[in-house]
Amino acid sequence: MPFSQEVKDLVAYRAAYVCSNPDCLRLTAGPSLASLRLKVKIGEAAHIVGEKLLSARHQPLGDAALNDIANALWLCASCHTEIDKNSGIDFPTPLLKQWKADIEARISSILKTHQSPLPLYERSSSNSTIAQNVADIIGNHGAFFQQLAYENPSAVLDSVKIVRMKLDRQHRQVSGDTRLRSIVKALHDACREYMNENSVDCSFWQNYLTVLRARAGVQLNSLKREYGIQVPSSISPMLP
């Protein structure tokens, strides 16, 4: 059975609604600016030891232990998905238990010493700005949305090169957030591969550009879904 609502609420409070992944520390709850009656929550109670037989890090501990607060970890939705990939091999049980202990100790210290929680959130805010910058960079370059009939292969190559350099700068500025770093890297790599394929022989540049746009659309959709960016209208048709 899943966690009870009581456990979900408790683990969220104990982490102050901050993602427990030390490389993320993303705030997972806040207001909807569209309405005073609405809220936004992107956090989830995750199982440290997997609940089901084939789930990540599963052990036959029994339902009571598996769904106890001791086995609950508060994460943003992205990190929750990440820790369960490949049966959880990259995120073993001792590591996740350490995340839980560390975030709770940190929140407790902030409460007791009257510190500001803003340092926890500033990194997330900075990364959200980077996510929007990435979308704007792509939206400002016609190589990603101009009709192919109007494009010139050499001009497209130059444009993609510029985008790649700009994405590289954004990638270097990402602080801690492994998910955002991977998205920006995927876009950067897609541009690099386009350049490699067309640097000598550009006979099939239109085919490769179609692939590049499709790959960019997938990553932009992830930025929209996970970071709440505004996708420029020029490239919104690229989204899957």
What pLDDT digit, counting tens, does each position of 66-78 carry? 999 999 999 999 9
What pLDDT digit, counting tens, does each position of 74-131 carry? 999 999 999 999 999 999 999 999 999 999 998 998 888 887 776 666 666 778 889 9
Across the range 168-182, mean pLDDT stands at 88
Domain ranges of the chain: 5-115, 119-238
What pLDDT digit, counting tens, does each position of 179-216 carry? 889 999 999 999 999 999 998 888 999 999 999 999 99
Nearest to 73 by CA among 107, 101, 37: 101
**What burial letters (b/e) apply to 91-115, b meaning 16+ CB within 10 Å?**
beeeebeebbeebbebbeeeeeeee
pLDDT computed for residue 1 by the predictor: 64
Nearest to 134 by CA among 106, 108, 163, 160: 163
pLDDT computed for residue 124 by the predictor: 66
Measured distance CA(14)–CA(28) in Å, rounded: 13
